[in-house]
Every structure is written in C-alpha cells, then in structure tokens.
C-alpha cells in the first residue's frame, strides 16, 4: 500500500477552492445556486511587511461578511495586536441585531510580534457571512488556519485552511495551476484535510457522525471502528447508509463513500448523568487512482446537550431536535390497546376483516364455536405481533434503521402479499376451497382447514395492518422502539389485543353475539361479494410495486398472479384425479416462483419522481435554507404503501383548501417519499421518535422547534398549526 509521507515542508500544493462543501444543518448543501464558503469569501494573506499581516477577502456577489464576527487567534510564539478593520455597512440582522457588514471585498491589517526562535507566522482567522438572496442562508462560523513564511524566508505561503463543519478547501500554496485538481492525479492532501471528521449529539442517546472528503477521495465502510474513550458500560450501534460498491486494488469489492457520509449512532446503556463523552474513531480511506492513507485515528469530545464536537452553535439550528421521549409503561400499554382497537376501523385492515366477518356470522350457531373462533383468531394476531415486534427490535439492535411498515419497502414482500390477496379472493369467490366451512377462508395462507383458518386470518390481519397507523399507535410504538426488550414486547402484545378485542367480546359476551344476524344461504353471496376488497388490495399492492421498481416489476408480478390462479384452479380439479394431476400442481406452483426470483434482480428505478405542483421534495439542506429565510414549512413524510398517508392526502392535503392555506400563510409544502429505503428520511423519523410514516411536522417562521401533528389529520388541525407557524 502506498502511504502518505507527512511533514515534507517543501511540498507545495495548489487545489481549487471550494472542493469541500459540508452539511452543517444551517447550510443548504447540494443547492446549485450557493457557493462553498471559501469561494463565497476568498481569503488572501500577505506577510511581506514585518510586524504586519495584511488580509484581503474577495466577496462574491449577493454575499456579505459580518464585521463583528471576525476573530483572530494567535498560534505558538505569536502575539497579535488589535485588528484594524474598515467600517462596514449598517444592517439589522434578525438574529444578531444591529450589525455592520461588508460587500464585494475588505482589507484588514493585523499587527503581530514574535517570540524568539519563532520561524513561522501561525494563527487562525474566523469569519462568518450570509447569502442575501433566495435561498437566504447564513453559514456557520468558518475558521482558516494560516501558516505563513516570515518576510526573511524565501517565498510567502498563503493560508492553508483546516476546515470545520462547513469543510474549508485548501488555499493556494504556490504550486502551478496544473497541479490543482483535488481529484485524480492531484498531489495528495494531508489526512486531516482529505478526511474531515465531525460529531454531534442529536439527543443524549443519539449521535450523528460526519465524514467530508474532497472530490476524488473515498472512505472505506468496513475499515471504520468506533469506541468511547470513557464509556464503561456503554455500547455504540451505528446505522450505516447505503454506500457505493467499489472495486479496490487493495481489498477487492468493498463499500465506500465519496464526498460525504452521515452516520447515525445510538448509544446503548445508562448515561448516568453524563453530559460529555469522548469518541474515538479509527478509519481508512484512499485517493481515487492515488495513494491509500494509513489508518487514521481521531478523538473528539461530544457534548450530549446536542452541540457539534468542533463548531459552537452560533446561530439558531436548522432543525430543532424534539425533547427525549417520555412515557411510562402503563401509558404506553393503554395507548397501544387503544391504537390496536382503532386499527380495526382503518382501511388497510378492512379487507381481512371481511374474512373474519363471515366466520363470526357462522359462529352465531354455537357459543362454543364463537369462543373457539375468537380465541384462535386472537392467538394468530398476538403471535404475529410478538413475532413482528421481536424481529423489528432484533434488526434495530443489529444497527438497521427499521420501523412500522418498513417490510413493504421490499418489493418481494409487496409482490408476495399481492399474490396472497389474490389467492384469498379466489377462495372467497369459490374458485378453490381450502376448507369446508366459510370460516376457514383465512386458511388460504397455509392451505389448511379447521382451526388453522381462524389462526391464519389473525396472521393475515397483522400483515396487512402494517401499512396503517392509527391514532395512539405512534406514541406507543415510539416508546416500544426505545424501551427495554420486555417492555417493548408488552407494547406489541397490547396492540394485538386491541386489534383482536372486538372479536373476543363477540365470542365471550353472548349479549353482543345475539345482535348478529342469523346465518343462512345469504352468507355464500356475502362471502363472494367480500372477495372484491381482496382483489382491490392486490391491485393496490401492484401499484405500490410499480412505484418501487417500474413496469418490469409489474409485468413479473402479473405473470406470477396468473400462474398462481392457474395453480389454484388445477389444484381444485386435481382433488379427484390421479398422482400425475397432483404433480402438475407442484410444477405450476414452482413456475409461480420464477417471476418472484426475477423480481429480486430488478434494480431500483433511477428515474426521478415527477414533481408535484406546489410541493418541494424533502432534503435537510433545503429545509435548513427555508428555515433560515424565515419561511414556515409543512413537512410530510409519506409512502405509497402507507394507507393512512393516502387517506390524509385525499381528505386534507390534496384539497384546494390546503393549497389556499399554504398561500395565505406563506408556508412551503415539503414531502419526503419513504416508499423505498431512504436513510435521509429514516434519520428524520428517528429525530422525531416516529416509528414510521405518516409523520407531519410544522416548522414556524421564527426558527422555533417543529410541531409534530397527529398521524390522522383534520383540516382544522392543519389550519391551526400553519396559522400559528406563520405568526
């Protein structure tokens, strides 16, 4: 491995300014109209006059610098005098009050004296400025480290910036322009400048780590280790975002990150009142087509109050982090029970409840039969909620960013569910019978008759309930994802009990059962009518799949559904036939699996989602710039498979009244699509303790914390929130 040789003072580098554009919460990263901080404010230093350092900033059009935010700090052996700065333009700033600013350019003079034996002039220069037209943003304070040759030395070396969360680019060091690449074939940067590392605490148990690299540099995911220097009894659980598959000459096929990577990290264990932790990070990276650096070690002190490890929060943050979740186990259990009960009324569960309705009507003939149906259905619901809870908690403990309904981010799961709904519908329509009684329709999941029909109807109810979020569920699930394992499982079981409660009451309270109509021949017609909600559910799942993987995926799942229908049709005909006919059933069933296998190999669609009128796609940078400009923002985190989201859109968000409200309050409607895996949106959900979508947050124009709304919206609720945000 080629290693970086440090300490060669004669090496002279020239790189383009502005290669590094980091993602401080206040800076609109990725916005084409904004310049990197070192291009917006170009600093040149001249130490040619003994005892005087001359500084000149060239300020780009539509940008300005604050006079009062300039700070100078001396290095070893250097004593600085009072800086001589020209008067600036008077300006009233909404955050800083009455200030003076500079446009176009500024010259400053800084006197200094040197201690005996000092051979170089070293100091730091801090400054801060803003972009004054849309998008209006203010950069966090930016610091450049100057290391200059004294007048007696041959040649003068301008500033070399060390960077901060905005990531400063290197200034000119006097080499020829032909060396200024910053990417392939450029002279390698020092490790501290090639791999900028920052850490901040979003809340006491959650950190956000950030590596920022210039163009042409990349970081290895699997060569990174993290530990706490003073964290006895604590463990770190990182959730790595999707990286880039890269063939590396040293390690083969690896996952790497270019430009910048943000890593959410959960701290597990009792903090015991600690307000600060020491984080030790070890990582390795390379220059593309150039050298690979030796293992780099960085140690930062993280303030658990939420401030960055390397930059003080000088201005109001772009996104306020909500207070840590506070709830007791008893309150969470009551919320979960209520949420599960209301879940029976949500549109995602209604198709499966139509299956259960038939069995309940059939059980009207016998109290014992009613109790058996209720108990077996409840057992299926509770078992499924327990399994789902344990699976989600295990995956989250392993570092995966999962939440309620995220299994529907997997196209294969969506396709399988569509086929299951088709099979159940065909059973209810009489194409195939999985059991002799009407109550066994739900047994189609396992193709078994008898009590299994009730049990698997409960399983199916839980599976299709996952795209829905009922009132009370959000707080209960947020508590479960943060609580110890036993308490979390109790919350999931309480959700299941709420979902099963209506059928338990009917089975065990004879007075309620007597209110049901008596069974008869009409029930066969009812069963066939209730098959159509199952077909509609299958069609909706195919639509979700189309948005995830496009037309090819839709074609494959439709082929699979036709083959499944053929399999079930022949399965029914083969009951009275020989072994050869039954073998054909197995062949058709195997053929049904082939399109599913091909579906797993369809890549994620690269086509961008068409923009909606009046809707801005969510990005942390754009949200930060809007908030910095004093614009109220309505953030909507949604997904195509989220039935509650679609119901809210139809009832509230896709109406003319909502569009008029946005215009009246001057608010911006920002939407994040979580239909597919998206680490950026996952981080936003985690920030607001949301176990899934929908999530609605209203940010006020005064820069205050965001207000989280209920998962089920009403017009009056949204109007009140936006009206208050616009004041």
Q: What average pLDDT does this structure show over 673-691?
A: 80
pLDDT for 686-710, tens place per residue? 778 777 888 999 999 888 888 989 8
Q: Among the listed ranges 362-371, 493-502, 675-684, which one has the minimum average pLDDT value?
A: 362-371
Q: What is the pLDDT, as a whole number, of residue 585?
A: 85
The answer to whether the beta carbons of residues 63 and 128 sit under 8 Å apart is no
Closest CA to 637 of 677, 692, 689, 717: 692
d(CA 200, CA 181): 31
Q: Among the listed ranges 253-262, 295-304, 438-447, which one has the minimum average pLDDT value?
A: 438-447
Q: What is the pLDDT, as a whole number, of residue 111?
A: 86
Confidence category of residue 72, pLDDT binned at 50, 70, 90: very high
Q: Among the listed ranges 111-120, 322-331, 428-437, which one has the minimum average pLDDT value?
A: 322-331
Confidence category of residue 29, pLDDT binned at 50, 70, 90: very low
Q: Among the listed ranges 427-441, 460-474, 622-636, which one has the minimum average pLDDT value?
A: 427-441
Q: What is the pLDDT, as a whole number, of residue 259?
A: 83
- Residue 665, φ and ψ in degrees, nearest 5: -95, -5
Q: What is the pLDDT, as a whole number, of residue 404?
A: 63
Neighbour order of strands in the sheet with 615-617: 615-617, 668-673, 633-638, 695-699, 707-708
Q: What is the pLDDT, as a whole number, of residue 474?
A: 62
d(CA 338, CA 359): 24
pLDDT for 462-511, tens place per residue? 776 666 666 667 667 766 766 677 888 888 899 889 888 888 888 788 77
The answer to whether the beta carbons of residues 441 and 580 sit under 8 Å apart is no
| Cα–chain center distance at 49 | 53
Pairing of strands 668-673, 217-220: unpaired
pLDDT at 131 over 50: yes
pLDDT for 160-207, tens place per residue? 333 333 333 333 333 333 333 344 445 567 777 788 888 877 777 888
At which residue do the structure tokens 């301008």 appear? 158
Distinct helix (H) and strand (E) counts, the chain:
19, 28
Q: What is the pLDDT, as a whole number, of residue 396?
A: 57
Cβ-proximal residues to 96 (8 Å cutoff; 6+ apart), any chain: 66, 68
Q: What average pLDDT does this structure show over 299-328?
A: 48
pLDDT at 249 over 90: no
pLDDT at 671 over 90: yes
Helix ranges restricted to H, 158-200: 191-194
Q: What average pLDDT does this structure show over 117-121?
A: 82
Q: What is the pLDDT, as a whole number, of residue 635?
A: 95
pLDDT at 224 over 50: yes
Confidence category of residue 657, pLDDT binned at 50, 70, 90: very high
Bigger pLDDT: 421 or 605? 421
Q: What average pLDDT does this structure show over 326-331?
A: 67
* Domains of the chain, first to last: 11-180 (2.60.40.1250), 188-315 (2.60.40.1250), 329-410+434-524 (no CATH), 615-725 (3.40.30.10)
Q: Which of the listed ranges 13-17, 48-52, 102-106, 335-339 does the model predict with the highest average pLDDT? A: 102-106
Q: What is the pLDDT, as a whole number, of residue 161?
A: 35
pLDDT for 565-597, tens place per residue? 998 888 888 876 777 777 888 888 889 999 988
Annotate 520-545 with b (16+ C-beta within 10 A) or e (fewer): eeebeebbeebbebbbebbebbbebb
d(CA 285, CA 179): 21
pLDDT at 320 over 60: no
Q: Calculate the average pLDDT of the chain.
A: 75
Q: What is the pLDDT, as a whole number, of residue 359?
A: 62
Q: What is the pLDDT, as a whole number, of residue 526?
A: 73
Question: For a pLDDT cut of 90, what percent of the chain falls above it?
Answer: 12
Q: What is the pLDDT, as a whole number, of residue 176?
A: 34
Bigger pLDDT: 481 or 234? 234
């Amino acid at each position: 491995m080629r290693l970086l040789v440090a300490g060669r003072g004669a090496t002279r580098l020239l790189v383009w300014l502005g290669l590094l554009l980091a993602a401080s919460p206040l800076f609109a990263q990725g916005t084409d109209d904004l310049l990197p901080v070192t291009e917006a404010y170009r600093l040149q230093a001249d130490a040619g006059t003994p005892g005087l350092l001359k500084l000149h900033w060239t300020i780009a059009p539509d940008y300005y610098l604050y006079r009062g935010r300039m700070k100078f700090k001396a290095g070893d052996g250097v004593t600085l005098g009072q800086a001589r700065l020209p008067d600036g333009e008077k300006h009233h700033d909404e955050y800083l009050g009455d200030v003076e600013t500079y446009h176009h350019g500024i010259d400053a003079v800084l006197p200094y004296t040197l201690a005996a034996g000092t051979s170089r002039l070293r100091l730091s220069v801090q400054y801060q400025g803003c972009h004054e037209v849309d998008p209006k943003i203010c950069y966090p304070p930016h610091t450049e480290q100057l290391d200059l040759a004294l007048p007696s030395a041959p040649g003068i070396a301008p500033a070399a910036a060390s960077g901060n969360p905005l990531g400063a680019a290197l200034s000119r060091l006097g080499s020829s322009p032909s060396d200024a690449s910053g990417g392939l074939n450029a002279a390698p940067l020092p490790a501290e400048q090639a791999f900028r590392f920052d850490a901040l605490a979003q809340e006491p148990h959650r950190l956000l780590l950030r590596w920022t690299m210039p163009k042409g540099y990349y970081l290895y995911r699997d060569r990174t280790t993290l530990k706490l220097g003073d964290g006895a009894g604590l463990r770190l659980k990182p959730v790595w975002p999707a990286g880039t598959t890269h063939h590396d000459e040293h390690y083969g096929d690896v996952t790497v990150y270019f430009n910048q990577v943000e890593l959410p990290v959960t701290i597990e264990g009792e903090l015991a009142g600690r307000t600060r932790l020491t984080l030790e990070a070890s990582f390795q990276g390379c220059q593309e087509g150039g050298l690979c650096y030796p293992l780099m070690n960085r140690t930062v002190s993280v303030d658990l109050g939420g401030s960055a490890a390397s930059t003080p929060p000088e201005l109001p943050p772009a996104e306020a982090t909500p207070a840590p979740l506070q709830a007791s186990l008893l309150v969470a259990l009551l919320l979960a029970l209520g949420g599960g009960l209301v879940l029976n009324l949500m549109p995602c569960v209604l198709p499966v409840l139509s299956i259960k309705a038939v069995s309940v009507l059939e059980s009207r003939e016998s109290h014992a039969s009613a109790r058996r149906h209720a108990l077996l259905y409840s057992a299926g619901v509770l078992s499924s909620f327990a399994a789902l809870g344990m699976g989600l908690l295990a995956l989250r403990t392993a570092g995966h960013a999962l939440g309620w309904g995220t299994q529907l981010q997997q196209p294969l799961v969506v396709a399988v569910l569509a086929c299951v709904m088709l099979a159940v519908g065909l059973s209810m329509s009489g194409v195939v019978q999985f059991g002799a009684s009407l109550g066994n329709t739900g047994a189609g999941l396992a193709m078994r008759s008898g009590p299994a029909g009730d049990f698997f109807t409960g399983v199916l109810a839980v599976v299709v309930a996952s795209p829905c979020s009922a009132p009370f569920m959000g707080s209960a699930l947020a508590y479960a994802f943060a609580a110890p394992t036993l308490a979390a499982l109790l919350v999931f079981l309480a959700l299941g009990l709420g979902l099963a409660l209506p059928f338990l009451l009917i089975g065990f309270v004879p007075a309620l059962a007597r209110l049901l109509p008596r069974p008869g021949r009409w029930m066969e017609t009812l069963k066939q009518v209730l098959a159509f909600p199952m077909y509609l559910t299958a069609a909706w799942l195919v639509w979700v799949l189309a948005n995830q993987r496009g037309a090819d995926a839709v074609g494959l799942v439709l082929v699979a559904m036709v083959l499944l229908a053929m399999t079930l049709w022949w399965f029914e005909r083969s009951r009275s036939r020989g072994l050869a006919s039954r073998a054909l059933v197995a062949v058709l069933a195997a053929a049904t699996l082939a399109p599913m296998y091909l579906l797993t190999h369809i890549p994620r669609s690269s086509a961008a989602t068409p923009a909606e009128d009046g809707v801005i796609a969510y990005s942390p940078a754009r949200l930060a710039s809007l908030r910095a400009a004093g614009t109220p923002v309505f953030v909507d985190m949604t997904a195509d498979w989220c039935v509650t989201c679609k119901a809210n859109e139809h009832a509230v968000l896709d109406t003319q009244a909502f569009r008029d409200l946005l215009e009246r309050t001057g608010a911006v409607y920002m939407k994040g699509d979580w239909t597919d895996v998206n680490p950026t949106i996952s981080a936003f959900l985690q920030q607001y303790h949301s176990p899934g979508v929908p999530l609605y947050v209203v940010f006020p124009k005064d820069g205050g914390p965001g207000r989280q709304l209920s998962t089920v919206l009403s017009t009056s609720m949204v109007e009140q929130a936006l009206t208050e945000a616009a004041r």
